[in-house]
Structure 1
Amino acid sequence: MEAPTFGNLLRRLRDGRGLSRERLAFNAGVSASYITHLEKGERGNPTREVVEALIRHLDLLDPLSAADHRQLSDLAGLGSGDLPTVEQLCDAITANMRRVLNLHRPNLAAYIDLRANVLAWNDSWDDTFPGVTEDGNMLRWLFGNDLATRVMVNWESDVRQVVRWLRGLIGRSGDTAGFADLLQELGEFPKFRQAWSEGGVAFAPHVWTLHLRNPVTGLRRKVYAQTGRIDTGPHPGHLMAILGLNS
């Protein structure tokens, strides 16, 4: 499994438009060999001026989606640097932050990082997603735990959407290498490989709807999930709070 890079996204967008390296280079004011080096990852990040020139010509031939536009800019080096470790992020969760999770009961609430590691949670989260806190990662649970297909009513469409969000997060992080181990793990699951091969990218909204099922009783419910990035503390932007409000 290959993490998204500026080069492989540029190549996909260029190929999708039937555009040669030479023509793209001419219209962006760079050499064809430079485009080759960019696509192979043999050069550092391009300048903002080059990125904007590339986007202008690609967009002229076939308008880029807002997600692809943002992803191309993110992967050009506008991210936030190396990812902190799980241990560092757990240490950054204060006692007061943990108390807040319990105040939201019976609604589910948790703190996760950009790689979907579950760092702190309340009992409602644990009850809703059985087995996820033992595993420690929402993505591994989604693809590797049979209970996930019973809990997530729309599992097929939900996991495809999550994979698109993951691509967006990798670009935003600015540290594609930091996701290599996770991608290798997830690559063991055929459904993940299938969704990843589609190549789509998206960015999670602040609020979205989850349709959940109790795996024991079969009772269904609708939850409005709200996500907020935590920009305070020692690792701003690397922690996310998720609150699920029962409808």
Structure 2
Amino acid sequence: MNHTEELGEFLRARRAQLTPEAAGVTSYGARRVPGLRREELAQLAGVSATYYTRLEQSQSTNASESVIDSIGRALNLNDDEKVHLHDLARPAKAKRRAPGKPDQATPGTIRLLNAMTNVPTVIMGRRNEVLAWNPLGHLLVAGHTDLDAPSRPFDRPNLTRMLFLDPHTKDLYRNWRDEASLAVASLRFIAAQHQDDAELTQLIGELTLKSPDFAAMWTKHPVQQCVSGVKRFHHPEVGDFDLSFEVLHLPGASGHRMMTHVAEPGSTDAAALELLSATNETPVARHVPSRI
């Protein structure tokens, strides 16, 4: 993935979405497209039209922080999009990577996961691969898969891949398109922060080739951190119910995250979650990795 080209594509996409009215620009003459012209955006950002054009055409990779800030303000970007813009504008540094061990959840994270028996929880790596889950988390998001799969580094489920390529996972969400759009926006955010991650680039390429839905969503350059919200399930075991989710970023530079799901106490959603929990009769210790 060429992130210099990604910067240009992101700028063009956001400029095309920004109307003169929204930007406070007086429009003169007929427009072929509804978005701002390059020279209008450049004027709002306080840079020359030539320089801004070079950025859009991926011919410049050394824009200063202040210039990127100005362009972000001119495009009316939100906080997540501004972070994303800075990540794209910052050239990726080549890193020499020594062959390492497959990524694993830490022992402390596993102990915490074991203790959360009544909260469906999934531990994810930076690419949304499942590093571990408790039995209730497995039953909630991927009960049709092998419970022990996260312990096999080269055969791990990936939540984003499953969302687009696995029919069972597509059927799991009542609002699949909203869920998928958020997943793409989150992946965009992560990809810009890890520009040297070959496995992440491979995942994006695979999904682009195999899923027309992913390819269409990806080209729109959505950007959003996925940290909380509501997931609307259509679960094969217990039917329709909603759960609030929180994504907690774990300490360190690993990019590991913990996703938890909870229901409003006393609600029908809580009753559905209790019913799902009742189908789990297997001790926790058997299903999460005991060795890291």
TM-score (norm 2): 0.67
- Write 1 or 2 for the structure with the bigger share of helix: 1
- Deviation at residue 200 of structure 1 after TM alignment: 2.3
- Deviation at residue 39 of structure 1 after TM alignment: 2.4
Q: Is the 8 A contact 1:78 1:174 kept in 2?
A: no
Equivalent residue, structure 2, for 1:49:
66
1:222 aligns with 2:236: no
Distance 1:160 1:22, change over 3 A: closer
CA distance in 1, matches of 2:102, 2:59: 32
- Number of equivalent positions: 235
CA-to-aligned-CA distance 1:101-132 (integer Å, 9 cap, x gap): 12111321121122111111111122221328
CA distance in 2, matches of 1:190, 1:135: 23
| 1:90 aligned to which of 93, 103, 128 | 103
| 2:221 aligned to which of 172, 192, 199 | 199
Q: What are the equivalent positions in structure 2 for 1:7-22 lying under 5 Å apart?
A: 7-17=8-18, 18-22=35-39
Q: Is the 8 A contact 1:112 1:119 kept in 2?
A: yes
Q: SS in structure 2 opposite 1:90?
A: coil
CA distance in 2, matches of 1:102, 1:48: 44
Greater gyration radius: 2
CA distance in 2, matches of 1:211, 1:119: 23
Equivalent residue, structure 1, for 2:6:
5
Q: Is the 8 A contact 1:5 1:75 kept in 2?
A: yes
Q: SS in structure 2 opposite 1:202?
A: coil
- Deviation at residue 79 of structure 1 after TM alignment: 9.2
Which structure has more relative contact order (CA 8 Å, sep 6+)? It is 1
- Deviation at residue 135 of structure 1 after TM alignment: 4.8
1:163 aligns with 2:176: no
Equivalent residue, structure 2, for 1:117:
129
Distance 1:142 1:5, change over 3 A: same
Distance 1:88 1:48, change over 3 A: farther
Percentage of identical aligned residues? 24
| 1:149 aligned to which of 170, 187, 191 | 170
CA distance in 2, matches of 1:89, 1:111: 15
Q: SS in structure 2 opposite 1:192?
A: helix
Tell me how large the CA RMSD over aligned residues is: 3.3
Q: Is the 8 A contact 2:245 2:260 kept in 1?
A: yes
CA-to-aligned-CA distance 1:51-107 (integer Å, 9 cap, x gap): 123234x24xxx33444333223322399997x99x65634x222321211211132
Distance 1:126 1:12, change over 3 A: same
Q: Is the 8 A contact 1:143 1:192 kept in 2?
A: yes
> Where do 5+ consecutive residues of structure 1 fail to align?
none
Q: Is the 8 A contact 2:131 2:156 kept in 1?
A: no
